[in-house]
Structure 1
Amino acid sequence: MADRDAPVGADKASVVLDTKAEVANFVRDLKSFQERIEVKMKTQDDRISMLDRKGAERPALSRAADDQTPHRKALDAYLRSGDEAGLRAVSVERKGLTTAVAAEGGYLVDQLTAARIEGVKRGAGAVRAVANVVQIEAGVFEVLVDRGDLETGWITEGAAPTETAPSLFDKVSIPLHELSALPRASQRLLDDSAFDIEGWLADRIAEKFARAENAAF
C-alpha cells in the first residue's frame, strides 16, 4: 500500500515545485516590468524638467505683445538701416510703452526683447543662479544690513520676557557698472528680411553679458 502511494506523493511534490518555479518566474518578470516602467517615468520626468527650463527662458506670451508690434517693426528698421523716424513716431503715439527717447538720444528696446535677454542670461550665468537679482532705476543700489545679533533665551510659562538689545543697521551702497556689447553683422544679413536680427542681437548680447558677469564674479 505504501508503494502505491509513493508515486502520488512524488507527483504532488513535482506540482509544488513547478508552481514555485512559475511564481518565481512571475515575480521576476514583474520586477523587470516595474524597472522598465520606472526608467520610462524617469525619462519622461527629465524631459518635462528640461522643457520647463526652456520655457522659463522664453518670454511669456500675452496680448501686450500685439501692442508692441509697431515698435518692433520700427526697431527692426532702425537696426537694419539706421532709420530713426519709425522709432520717433512710435514714441510719440504710444507714450505708455517704454519706447521714449532718452535725454542722450537713445531708445529702449521693447519688453519682449528685454525679457529674452534676461532669460538667456539666467540660463547661461552661473552668478544669477545663486544671486538675488533686483531691478532698480538709480545709479547706486542701497540696502540696509542688520549687524546686530538677536538675543534669545528660554523662559517659563507666565514669566515676563526680557527685552533684547536694539538691532544695529548699516546702509551699504553698491555702485552700479554698465555692460555694453557691440555685435557686428554683415550687410548681406541686414538686407535679408528673413534674418531675425532682433533675436540674433538679443541672444548674442545676453551671451556676452553672461560671460562678462561670470568672469567678474
Structure 2
Amino acid sequence: MKKAMIASALVAHAMAAYGAQANQPVPRGIVSVSADAGTEVKALIEGVNKAFADFKAEHSKQLEDVKKGQADALQALQVDRINTEVAKLQAAVDDANLKIAAAQMNGGAAAGLKDKEYTEAFNAHFKKGEVQAALNKGAAQEGGYLAPTEWDRTITDRLVVVSPMRALCAVQPISTNGFTKLFNNRGTTSGWVGETDGRAQTATPTFGSLTYNTGELYANPAATQQMLDDSAINLEAWLGGEVETEFSLQEGIAFLTGNGNNKPNGLLTYITGGANAAAHPWGDIKTVKSQSAAALTADGLIDLVHELPGEYTGNARAIMNRNTQKAIRKLKDGEGNYLWQPSFQAGAPATMLGYGITEVAGMPDVAANSKPIVFGDFKRGYVIVDRVGIRVLRDPFTNKPYIHFYTTKRVGGGLLNPDVLKALTISA
C-alpha cells in the first residue's frame, strides 16, 4: 500500500507541474511547461523505474509461488496493483514528454505571434464581429473568417499532443480537396549479354495510384456575448481548447478505424482481412500470430518485431492501448528478461524489446482474433492529409445570447506503404 501511495503522489506531483501553477488552472488543451520541467520529468522517471523494480520483484515471487503450487490471491492482487501504478507513472512521463516537445515547437510560447496585426483583428472579430477593412485579411463574403496562421499552427500543435497518430505519422498539407500518389509497382527486368549480342527489349515497371480524399471535421463551441466582452478572457486559448478537444476525439477514431466516408481511411482497415485490405497497390498490412488463441506471448512479440525487414526498423515503434501494455509488462524472454522496460531519460518512451511504445487509446484490447498491436515505421507507413487552414464562421444569430464559432478543418488519411508495418493478431 505504501508503494502505491508513493506512486500516486508522484503522478499527482507531475500533473501539478504540467497542468497548473498554485491554484491557477490552465485552460483545457493549453500546453504549460514550468521552468524546472526537466527536473520534474527526471523525478518522475526515477519513480517509474523504482516502481517497475518493485513490480519485477513481486511478479517473480508470484511466479515462484505458482511453480511451487502455492499461488496466493493477495500476492496476485499486489502485483496487479503495482502494475497499474507503473502504467500511471509511465503515462505521466509520456504526457510530460509530449508537452515539453509541443512547447518547443515553433520556438515555444516565448516566440510570440508572428502576425500581431492579424491576431488583433481576429480577436476583434471574436468579440463583436467587427473587423476594419484594412485588417480584414481573411474575411469571406458570407461572414467567415480564416484563423491567423499562428493560431492555426497552435491548434495543430495541441492535436499532436492529444492525437498520437499525428505525432507518429507523415502529414501532407494540400491545397485541393484530395491528394493522389503514384506507386512504382516495379517489374523492370534485365539480362546478361556478350559484347556483340543483341539487346532485346526488357520489361518496364508499372505504376499504381491511391487517392487520399479529405472529409470535413467541425466543432461548434459557443460563448455568451458577455463572456467575450470580458477582456480577461484569452479568446484564442479558450477556442483553441474547445476545438482541440473535439478534433482530437474525432481524428483519433478516424485515423484508426475510419471508413473513408467523409473521413480518413483508418490504419486498421488496411490490415489483412480489413475493409481496405485490397485498396493499396502494394497490398495489405501483413499479420503475425501471437501463438496463443486468446493471449499475448513473448514468442509472438519477438516474431512480430523480427517479421519487419531490418531496413524498416530504424524508426520503428509499436502502438497499443494501456491494457495491452499492462499485459506485456508481465512477459519475459527465454533468459528471464522483461520485454517491457520503462523510460530511462526525459523524452524517451517506454520500450518493448528495445523499440518505443506509443499508447493509442483506440487500439483494440487483447482478445481472440483481435489486432491489438501494430509495429513499424509510421512516418513511412501512414499519411495524414491536411487541407491547409482552419476556418471559423462567427454565428451570433442562431442561438441568442450565445455566439457560436463554427470551426472547420478538412482532413484525410490512408496507408502509405504496407511493407513498413506489421500487425499482431491474437491467434494460435
**TM-score with structure 2 setting the length:** 0.32
Q: CA RMSD in A?
A: 3.6
Residue 135 of structure 1 pairs with residue 165 of structure 2: no
CA deviation after TM superposition for structure 1 residue 101, in Å: 3.5
Residue 56 of structure 1 pairs with residue 101 of structure 2: yes
Partner Cα distance (1:151, 1:71) in 2: 57
Deviates more, 1:192-201 or 1:141-150: 141-150
Aligned to 1:72: 119
The one-character-per-residue Cα deviations of 1:105-155 (angstroms, maximum 9, x if unpaired) are 532211221111001111111322332111110111111122336779xx9
**1:159-174 aligned within 5 A:** 165-174=203-212
CA deviation after TM superposition for structure 1 residue 164, in Å: 7.9
Aligned to 1:202: 240
The 1:74–1:205 alpha-carbon spacing in structure 2 relative to 1, beyond 3 Å, is same
Partner Cα distance (1:119, 1:212) in 2: 16
The 1:168–1:130 alpha-carbon spacing in structure 2 relative to 1, beyond 3 Å, is farther
Partner Cα distance (2:207, 2:160) in 1: 31
Partner Cα distance (2:213, 2:121) in 1: 34
Partner Cα distance (1:129, 1:43) in 2: 22
**1:2-13 aligned within 5 A:** none
The 1:43–1:202 alpha-carbon spacing in structure 2 relative to 1, beyond 3 Å, is same
% same residue: 25
Partner Cα distance (1:139, 1:44) in 2: 47
Letter in 1 for 2:181: V
Is contact 2:113–2:150 with CA below 8 Å preserved after alignment?
no
Q: Which has the higher helix share?
A: 1
Is contact 1:71–1:110 with CA below 8 Å preserved after alignment?
yes
Partner Cα distance (2:123, 2:139) in 1: 16
CA deviation after TM superposition for structure 1 residue 44, in Å: 5.7
Q: Which has the higher strand share?
A: 2
Is contact 1:113–1:199 with CA below 8 Å preserved after alignment?
no
Residue 211 of structure 1 pairs with residue 256 of structure 2: no
**1:77-156 aligned within 5 A:** 77-83=124-130, 85-86=131-132, 88-91=133-136, 99-102=137-140, 105-148=143-186
Letter in 1 for 2:135: V
Aligned to 1:182: 220
Aligned to 1:16: none
Partner Cα distance (2:170, 2:188) in 1: 24
Letter in 2 for 1:76: N
The 1:46–1:175 alpha-carbon spacing in structure 2 relative to 1, beyond 3 Å, is same
Partner Cα distance (1:200, 1:188) in 2: 14
Partner Cα distance (1:191, 1:139) in 2: 37
Deviates more, 1:46-55 or 1:124-133: 46-55
The 1:105–1:132 alpha-carbon spacing in structure 2 relative to 1, beyond 3 Å, is same
The one-character-per-residue Cα deviations of 1:23-73 (angstroms, maximum 9, x if unpaired) are xxxxxxxxxxxxxxxxx9x82695998766324324524999565112111
Q: Which runs of 5+ in 2 are unaligned?
A: 1-38, 47-92, 193-200, 257-428
Partner Cα distance (2:114, 2:98) in 1: 27
The 1:66–1:123 alpha-carbon spacing in structure 2 relative to 1, beyond 3 Å, is closer
Letter in 2 for 1:190: L
Q: Specify the SS of the correspondent of 1:179.
A: strand
Aligned to 2:390: none
The one-character-per-residue Cα deviations of 1:141-184 (angstroms, maximum 9, x if unpaired) are 111122336779xx9xxxxxxx9853321121122111111111
CA deviation after TM superposition for structure 1 residue 78, in Å: 0.9
Partner Cα distance (2:97, 2:202) in 1: 46
Partner Cα distance (2:212, 2:94) in 1: 36
